[in-house]
Amino acid sequence: MKSQNVLQGMERAPHRSLFKAMGYTDEELSRPLIGIANSANEIIPGHIHLDTIVEAVKAGVRIAGGTPIEFGVIGVCDGIAMGHEGMRYSLASRELIADSIESMVLAHGFDGIVLVPNCDKIIPGMLMAAGRLNLPSIVISGGPMLAGRLNGERVDLNSVFEGVGAVSAGKMSETGLKELEDTACPGCGSCAGMFTANTMNCMTEVLGMGLPGNGTIPAVEAARIRLAKAAGMKVMDLIKADIRPQEIMTEKAFANAFTIDMAIGGSTNTALHLPAIANEVGIKIDLNWVNEICQKTPHLAYLRPGGIHNIQDLDEAGGISAVMAVLREKGLIHTSEKTVTGKTVGENIATAKVKRSDVIRSLADPYHQEGGLAVLWGNLAPDGSVVKQAAVAPEMMQHQGPARVFDSEEDAIKAIWGGKIVAGDVVVIRYEGPKGGPGMREMLGPTSSIAGMGLDKEVALLTDGRFSGASRGASIGHISPEAMEGGPIAFIKEGDQIKIDISNKRIDLLVDEAELAKRRAEWRQPEPRVKTGYLSRYSRMVTSANTGAVVK
């Protein structure tokens, strides 16, 4: 055991003395030490209850003969950080999370790790750390929030963002917005749709790093507590069997993850996070591969924001295991991969069944023949761009219109709220990429305002930044290379025609090459927006979106 390097022998008496200062007994110090990375805090609804989850994990570890040792991990709430300078820190915090867990685990000689996240960047940050450290590890999330109810209908956080646009368009009163604000988020958990947090919790389960149910069991159910206890016990089995993350997170496991991502219409942010996690275990993910998976995977579950169902519906329908079981019928799931259960994927889903066919459709009756995400290429995005095609209205799958160019999210929002964007426009928001932002801010404000004003079937939005998992409409992000690196998006001028063809995976600026070459020669890189502190260092070291925005 690694912990014995810290605790065993006469020369380690001072180390043991420090443990005893905290109340640890000799019996506890003779057992495997299990680090529990707890991202609980009082600023994220998905994390407000994680201390309860961690207590259940500790109970499981003790039941199975280990000694749990908890330590804290930071977390940024994307919803609260949205639309202002705080969002620059969200994606950048992913690397801090991975680095801090590495520091804690290796400094203290833990034998295994239980990772307890629930929201956007915290989940991938923890998975990156697990892959890098390659110690027996398991992830147990805090679970999804239930949807709210207003006037007999379900509502969620995205409803509130879209409500702001509806008020701006005169379609909702401020009193109505206040009522929506008070009811949309009824309690703890990750926001109630297939937004980034819930997508990544589902991806954790598919990758084999979380127990079945990790992605969908609601935060408030006792089943979530039982799952946490099971995770605490299971990490001890992983230590005994010496099963490690790099044996679990294989290339086939990532293929499974992208396949399920397509089938459930997951967040575009998986195109950032899955490559970054894969990078930690020595696997390179090519965006062309993502399109190949998309084209052969049917879209089976239509969840918010594009559809009508919430995560609680998916759980009632049989959860992620049921989706995998359906896709197994078509040979789209690799079933021999190891998982943290100690069993293979195939063994885990052997008895899984669809319990609500209105939520998880059959192969004969998918919502769409292709998966939820698509990677678009063209002279505007030579290194690719990403769209959640499952959340795009049919009439916007092909679109051509004049560019309305903004060099920041704030400028775009002012124009949208000011009524300056009209049907047919293509809103371009640039210098918001990993380097340019810096931090590649999520932009739910512009997309939800467009949707709330009823223009999501008439206006496209393009950015070298990214959109929230809650975004819907023709919202195309991750355009690479980004503007700050001199990508073609930097050369767009107001009124240029842009052609979008999602069906054929194309996005093009309709300007001839000679004119583009002239603009390229005239372009000068702007001064960085942030010149001190962590974001300044991050902007100098981060790579482009098509690589997962990993830090060199």
Helix, strand or coil for residue 533?
helix
Helix, strand or coil for residue 495?
coil
Cα–Cα distance for residue pair 352/321, rounded to 1 Å: 6
Cα–Cα distance for residue pair 550/541, rounded to 1 Å: 8
State phi, psi for 256 to the nearest 5 degrees: -60, -45
Cα–Cα distance for residue pair 208/249, rounded to 1 Å: 7
For 38-56, b/e burial (b = at least 16 CB within 10 A) is: bbbbeebbbbbbbebbbbb
> Token pair of 239, please?
């230590």
What strand order describes the sheet that includes 67-72?
Answer: 67-72, 33-38, 112-116, 137-139
Cα–Cα distance for residue pair 279/230, rounded to 1 Å: 29
CA 483 to chain centre: 23
Helix, strand or coil for residue 20?
helix
DSSP string, 356-382: -TTTS--TTS-SBSS-S-EEEEETTEE
Cα–Cα distance for residue pair 499/507, rounded to 1 Å: 6
Residue with tokens 């049907």: 423
DSSP H or E run through 398: strand 398-406
Cα–Cα distance for residue pair 37/72, rounded to 1 Å: 6
Residue ranges in 208-337 assigned as alpha helix (H): 222-241, 245-248, 251-264, 270-280, 287-296, 311-316, 319-328
Task: Tell me whether residue 394 is exposed, middle or buried, using C-beta atoms within 10 angstroms of its C-beta: 0 to 12, 13 to 18, 19 or more.
Answer: exposed
> Token pair of 27, please?
């019996």
> Token pair of 407, please?
């060099």
Would residue 39 show up in a list of annotated catalytic residues for this protein?
Answer: no
State phi, psi for 141 to the nearest 5 degrees: -85, 170
Q: Is the peptide bond before 438 cis (omega within 30 degrees of 0)?
A: yes
| Eight-state DSSP code of residue 90 | H
Q: Which residues pair with 46 in a beta bridge?
A: none
**Rounded to 5°, angle at Cα 326 from 321 and 328:** 90
Residue ranges in 109-172 assigned as alpha helix (H): 122-133, 157-168
Determine the residue type at 510: L
Catalytic residue of the set 190, 468, 471, 475: 468
Cα–Cα distance for residue pair 390/374, rounded to 1 Å: 9
CA 383 to chain centre: 21
**Which of 183, 187, 203 is CA-nearest to residue 195?**
203
What are the residue numbers of the active site?
468
